[in-house]
């Protein structure tokens, strides 16, 4: 099955990012395909390489980067939502890229299912 994932919440204020990450990891482990993870609204903070949680805390930004590196999953950050929140190319973590809402629409068309995490 082909999935598109939409993440609307930031990595440190809501469970949505963690849940989306664990879903994506489990789906890939079961042989499914993640066409794209699209980060929108406060979800764009998931791609900020400047976030620096303490060593004893989970680092969801690093987890997303590792997922992209290991699986080739496309991590797309909405340009408009990102710019409103200070997220530009120079602060993106590895594996993330800035793009427009058209990439979300495209993923939704090509996927068998689109899952939304967060409000």
Residue pair 112/1 in contact (Cβ under 8 Å)? The answer is yes
Which member of 20, 34, 44, 78 is catalytic? Answer: 78
Residue pair 47/77 in contact (Cβ under 8 Å)? The answer is yes
Q: What are phi and psi of 33, to 5 degrees?
A: -115, 135
User: Active-site residue 78, yes or no?
Assistant: yes
Catalytic residues: 78
């Amino acid at each position: 099955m082909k999935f598109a994932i939409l993440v609307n919440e930031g990595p440190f204020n809501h469970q949505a990012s963690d849940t989306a990450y664990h879903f994506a990891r489990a789906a890939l482990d079961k042989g499914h395909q993640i066409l794209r993870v699209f980060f929108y609204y406060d979800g764009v903070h998931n791609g900020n390489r400047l976030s620096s949680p303490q060593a004893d805390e989970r680092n969801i930004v690093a987890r997303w980067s590792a997922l992209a590196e290991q699986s080739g999953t496309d991590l797309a950050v909405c340009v408009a939502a990102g710019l409103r929140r200070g997220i530009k190319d120079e602060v993106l973590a590895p594996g993330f890229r800035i793009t427009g809402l058209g990439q979300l629409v495209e993923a939704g068309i090509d996927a068998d299912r689109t899952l939304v995490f967060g409000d």
